[in-house]
Amino acid sequence: MTESGASQARARIGRTRGVALALLACALLAREGQAYSYSAAGAEPLIDAREATLAALEAKDPAAARKASEAARAELDYLDQHFGTELGKALDAALAAGDTKRVDRIYLEGFTTEVRRRIAAAGENLKDYQSAKTLVVRSKRFLDLVSPQLPEQRRASAQKALADCLAALGNPGVFGVGAAPPDPAAFERAAAELLRSLTAP
């Protein structure tokens, strides 16, 4: 076989693999409609945009992927402004390059930053039980999606630190009965451990 013939054959094999992978993708989670998860309820623009963007890229529809990622724009802009990230620009570049894995990594970095954002806000609102509790609970949804990317030890320590954050919030009681005050020092320790588990190199 000549060199050009060999490269054509390789291209054919590449195309065949591409088709096989596409078929595999369809078959992988064909029964996903049955799935449900209590934590999944409630809109989270960044999570919803990630799923829609990845689905569009999988369907080889870059225009739909860009449109889907626009739903995350406000969240990403907020994170970029307040947490020193450059997620918006990085996502645009990854979408332009059609690099699905890079797009996913950027969304995951966004999720990690969302955890930082919510835990920081909870720490500032420890006296407002309802806000603090909701913020920490919602950060768990992002943590669960980031967890598979973490090394085992940090996966376990992040979940434990989040549970410690929740415990440090105390509880409001009814007319003072059964109330437990928040513990700012314990919250600070747990929050620091959570962020270390998520972001350590």
Partner 1 sequence: MSGRTSGAAAAALALALLLGYAFWLLGHPASLPSDDALFFVRAVTRFSVLELSPHFPGYPAFVLAARGIDALQHDPARSVFLTGALAALSIPPALYFWVRGAGVAPGFAWVAAVCALFQPSLPGVAVSMLSDPLGIALALWCLVAVQRERFGVGGVLMGLCVAARPSCAVLALALFAALLALRRAALWTCALGFGAVGAAAAAFVLAADGLAYFAEGVRFTAGHFEIWGRGAGAGSWLRDVLGLAGGAVNAAVLAGALGFALRSLQARALATAAALCMAVAYAVWILCAQNPDSARHAVPLLFLALGIAAIGLGQSESRGLAASVAALLFASTLQSFVSSVDRGQRAAPLERASAELAGRAGTLLITQWGVEWMREQHPELRIFDPYYAASARLAAQSETKGEVLRLSTSPLAGPWVALRELPARFPGEKSLTLYALRADPG
The residues of the shown chain that bind partner 1, judged by CB under 8 A, are 16-17, 20-21, 23-25, 27-32, 34-42, 47, 50-52, 54-55, 58, 100-101, 104, 129-130, 133-134, 137, 144-145, 147-149, 152, 155-156, 159, 166-167, 171-174, 177-179
Q: Which is nearer to partner 1, 3 or 29 (CB)?
A: 29
Minimum distance of partner 1 from residue 197's CB (angstroms): 12
If the CB atoms of residues 19 and 81 are measured against partner 1, the closer one turns out to be 19
CB of 42 to partner 1, least distance (A): 5
Smallest distance from the beta carbon of 101 to partner 1, in angstroms? 6
Minimum separation from the CB atom of position 129 to partner 1 (A) = 5
What does the H/E/C string look like for 140-182?
A: HHHHHHHHHHCCHHHHHHHHHHHHHHHHHCCECCECCECCECC
Pick between residue 104 and residue 193 the one whose CB is nearest to partner 1: 104
Residue 134 or 193 having the CB closest to partner 1: 134
Q: How far is the CB of 200 from partner 1 (least distance, A)?
A: 16
With respect to partner 1, which residue has the nearer C-beta, 82 or 180? Answer: 180
